[in-house]
Amino acid sequence: MKRLEGKRVAITGPRKSEELSKIVQNMGGIALVRPAQGTVFLDEPELGGGISEWIRLKPEWSILTTGMGLEALINTAQEMELSEAFMEAIARSNIAARGYKTVNALKKRGLAPLVRDDDGSTEGLIRQLEEHDFAGKNVIVQLHGDPAPRLVSWLEERGASVRTILPYKHIAPPEEQLEQLLGDILERRVDAVTFTSGPQVRFLIRHAAEGGKEEALRASFEHEVVAVAVGKVTAQSIHEEGIARVVAPKEERMGSMMVELAKYYAASRNENEPGTEDGEQEVPL
């Protein structure tokens, strides 16, 4: 049997929702797109100052935290006719990258980071930066939709002069979308909810709290509806919101996330039906 047969899976990430829906369907599940996050890219006037500062400052370190953010900066630099100078400023600096998508975005342009995280997280990036000297160094940090106080304070504690640039920011979706998702969870119209970033679960929890349904939401995740994270960073954000049961893969991949959910259901079936085994099957990703 297909390993998500009949399971109703809510997809809260607005990006690549179509791709994830196909994975769910290929595994026998029913995909329900329920955006819990919006993303707003800052326009050229807002980004332009940061890009010009990057070029002028020629920082010793460029710390890049998402491939999408780097692409947004490059596109804006092209519109400003500053792409060559911008890429040169990055290339001449020591580059640190968080996440495989950031590394891939750099690789497309012939660049490789001196430092990259060991697990896809900001904490993993900090661990790899520890052996380097930042005293008196200029550092520019490309943020990833949210502030990064832990990373910035860590750099400043080591004597760095830090500037941040935010190419895009995460915003809450329309209230009616969050209300639909909340109703689906509380009324058990979904079996699992996938999260691909921390803001998605934060926006959902905040919406539930405003309606006095926060504890009911947590109880649903604890006993009935499975919270699924794309990787350990998102899983940690879900745990921080008081949700203990989270299914997450070791590798941050959408396909891996759904395979992990299928394994969770298979294990649950085996616990409930002693002596049965769930046969392995090639999953079309």
Q: What is the mean pLDDT of residues 274-279?
A: 44
Task: Delimit the CATH 3.40.50.10090 region(s) of the chain.
Answer: 8-37+173-272, 40-170
Residue 10 has which token pair? Answer: 């809510």
For residue 284, pLDDT beyond 80: no
Q: Is the pTM of this model over 0.85?
A: no
In tens, the pLDDT along 81-116 reads: 999 999 999 999 999 999 888 999 999 999 999 999
For residue 1, name the pLDDT band (cuts at 50, 70, 90): very low
CA distance 208 to 182: 7
* CATH number listed for the domain at residues 40-170: 3.40.50.10090
The number of beta carbons lying within 10 Å of the beta carbon of residue 20 is 23
* Confidence (pLDDT) at 127: 95
Residue 223 pLDDT: 93
Cβ atoms within 10 Å of 82's Cβ, excluding its own: 17
Q: Which amino acid is at 70?
A: L
Cβ atoms of residues 31 and 190 within 8 Å: no
139-194 pLDDT, tens digit each: 999 987 777 889 999 999 999 999 999 888 888 999 999 999 999 999 999 999 99
Model confidence pLDDT, tens digit, residues 52-85: 999 999 999 999 998 989 999 999 999 999 999 9
Confidence of residue 122 (pLDDT cuts 50, 70, 90): confident
Assess whether pLDDT exceeds 80 at residue 199.
yes
271 CB neighbour count, 10 Å cutoff? 8
If one compares 2 and 149, the residue with the highest pLDDT of the two is: 149
**What's the average model confidence in pLDDT over 240-260?**
91
pLDDT of residue 271: 67
Q: What average pLDDT score do residues 20-36 get?
A: 95
- Output 271 or 284, whichever has higher pLDDT: 271
| Cα distance between residue 189 and residue 187, in whole Å | 6
pLDDT value at residue 144: 79
Of 3.40.50.10090, 2.30.30.40, 3.30.465.10, 3.40.50.1370, which CATH number belongs to 8-37+173-272? 3.40.50.10090
Checking if the pLDDT of 279 tops 60, the result is no
Q: Compute, in degrees rounded to 10, the torsion defined by CA atoms 19, 22, 24, 28.
A: -170
CA nearest neighbour of 231 among 124, 113, 116: 124
Under DSSP, the state recorded for 10 is E
Cα dihedral angle (240, 231, 118, 157), rounded to 10 degrees? -30
Is residue 277's pLDDT more than 60?
no
The DSSP code sequence of 190-239 is -SEEEESSHHHHHHHHHHHHHTT-HHHHHHHHHHTSEEEESSHHHHHHHH
Residue-wise pLDDT for 204-247, tens only, equals 999 999 999 999 999 999 999 999 999 888 898 899 999 999 99
